[in-house]
Amino acid sequence: MSSVPTTADRLPPSAAGSPLAVIFFAGMAEIVGARRLELPWEGGTVADLRRELEAGRPALGPLLARSAVCVAGRYAADNVTIAVGAEVALIPPVSGG
Partner 1 sequence: MPAPLPTASSSAAPGPCPDAGACRFVHGPIDGAAILAAVAAPAAGGNVLFLGTTRGVTADVTTRSLDYEAHEKVAVVMLDGLRAEALARFGLCGCAIVHRLGRVVVGEASIAIAASAPHRREAFAATEWLLEQVKAAVPIWKCEEDGEGRRTWVHPGDLRGIGARG
Residues that bind partner 1 (CB under 8 A): 23, 25-27, 30, 45-46, 63, 65-81, 89, 91-97
Q: Which residue, 21 or 80, has its beta carbon nearer to partner 1?
A: 80
Question: Cβ of residue 97: shortest distance to partner 1, in angstroms?
Answer: 4
- Rounded Cα–Cα distance for residues 75 and 17 (Å): 24
Half-sphere exposure of 13 (CA within 13 A, CB side): 4
Nearer to partner 1 by C-beta: 39 or 94?
94
CB-based contact 44:84 (threshold 8 Å): no
